[in-house]
Amino acid sequence: IGVGLVGFGLFFILFGMLLYFDSVLLAFGNILFLSGLVFIIGFRRTFTFFFQRPKLKGTSFFFGGVLIVLMRWPILGMLLEAYGFVTLFR
């Protein structure tokens, strides 16, 4: 279930970007991606991954970008998410 949710989430994010940053598709993709991540590695491990002390900057940018996309500012939100993603996984 988790891999399917992550796959659909990435598909909706990509499709939302191809359709000139459609905010509904991007928001739906973000929600599916995060819920799939919780299904794959569990709630506790997801929480501890995102909220480690050295990764708080990346986490805040990533979740801030998700929040901005949900508030219908898709381009700015995706830029914040991308920066947060790169900061989380470097």
Tens of pLDDT along 59-74?
A: 999 999 999 999 999 9
- For residue 5, the model assigns a pLDDT of 97
Average pLDDT across the chain, whole number? 95
- For residue 76, the model assigns a pLDDT of 96
CA 1 – CA 83 distance, rounded (Å)? 28
pLDDT band at 46 (very low <50, low <70, confident <90, very high): very high
pLDDT band at 47 (very low <50, low <70, confident <90, very high): very high
- For residue 28, the model assigns a pLDDT of 96
CA 25 – CA 43 distance, rounded (Å)? 24
